[in-house]
């Protein structure tokens, strides 16, 4: 077990840095979704009812709002792929040490 811990020290340190980066990137994605929501709220217009027309709600700058959500969703998807890549990289880097540990057990 001690040999595994020593052999996996480098990959664990790299994974820890990758996780910290993902946490920071996750906060950025959250901020992007919040900005898209705020943009949607700012561009939502309510027109009250009149004698000849029912009340209406419509969205100004529909393309801009849609693009903001699309950009945030793409960033979220990219972050998910990055997390998977980091986990696979960690698993690959520890493969030899894990195999040696299995043999010892």
pTM of the entire predicted model: 0.77
| Domain boundaries 2-104, corresponding CATH code | 1.10.287
Q: Are 60 and 45 in contact (CB under 8 A)?
A: yes
Q: Which of 17, 19, 30 is nearest to 76 (CA)?
A: 30
Question: How far apart are alpha carbons 29 and 68 in whole angstroms?
Answer: 11
Predicted confidence band at 1 (pLDDT cuts at 50, 70, 90)?
A: low
Tens of pLDDT along 42-89? Answer: 999 999 999 999 999 999 999 999 999 999 999 999 999 999 998 888
Residue 76: partners with Cβ closer than 8 Å, 6 or more residues away: 29, 33
Q: Does residue 13 register a pLDDT over 90?
A: no
Q: Across the chain, what does the average pLDDT equal? A: 89
Task: Give the phi and the psi of residue 56 in degrees, each rounded to 5.
Answer: -135, 150
Residue 69 structure tokens: 């959500």
């Amino acid at each position: 077990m001690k040999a595994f811990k020593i052999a996996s020290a480098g990959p664990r340190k790299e994974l820890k840095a990758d996780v910290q980066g993902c946490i920071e990137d996750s906060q950025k994605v959250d901020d992007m979704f919040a900005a898209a929501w705020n943009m949607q709220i700012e561009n939502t217009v309510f027109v009250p009812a009149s004698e000849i027309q029912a009340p209406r709600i419509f969205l100004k700058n529909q393309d801009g709002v849609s693009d903001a959500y699309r950009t945030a969703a793409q960033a979220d998807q990219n972050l998910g792929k990055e997390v998977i890549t980091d986990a696979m990289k960690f698993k690959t880097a520890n493969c030899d040490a894990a195999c040696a540990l299995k043999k010892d057990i």
